[in-house]
Amino acid sequence: MVDKFKPLDILNKSLKSSVIVKIRGDREFRGVLDGYDLHLNLVLSGVEELNKDLSVKNTLGEILVRGDNVVYISPTVQRAAEKGEGTGKSKAKGKGKGIGKESGEKETW
């Protein structure tokens, strides 16, 4: 039988990593998901409000988003500069989930 991801499984994998959250009123925020509950109330840190072209509109710091305002939550992909690539660090290469991860890196899935 094939294992299927459930929405809360994906949120749990996104804890302590960067996400983009869209809320009612066409506002989008990018920040680190520090916590959530079953009502989809979210605690985000290092938050930036984004314009339509995904450029930074405003820096907010830490916020709580009430769950009934959430339209979607999207895990983000780390850029090469955020992963430390090109800075002389050697990384293990591998296929599959979590192979070659270093401390603080987001697991690819």
The percentage of residues in the chain with a pLDDT greater than 70, rounded to a whole number, is 69
Length of the chain: 109
Is the Cβ–Cβ distance between 47 and 30 less than 8 Å?
A: yes
3-59 pLDDT, tens digit per residue, is 788 888 889 999 999 999 999 999 999 999 999 999 999 999 999 999 999 899 999
CA gap 15, 34 in Å, rounded: 6
Whole-number Å distance between alpha carbons of 21 and 66 = 11
pLDDT of residue 4: 82
Strands 42-50 and 18-23: unpaired
CA atoms within 13 A on the CB side of 5: 9
Q: For 51-77, what is each residue's pLDDT tens digit?
A: 999 899 999 999 999 999 999 999 987
Average pLDDT for 93-108: 46
Partners of residue 23 on adjacent β-strands: 27, 70
CA nearest to 60, candidates 42, 73, 75: 42
Q: What pLDDT does 2 receive?
A: 66
Does the structure show a pLDDT above 50 at 98? no
pLDDT given at position 21: 96
Distance from the Cα of residue 57 to its chain's centroid? 18
| pTM recorded for the entire structure | 0.67
Q: Which domains does the chain have, with CATH numbers?
A: 7-76 (2.30.30.100)
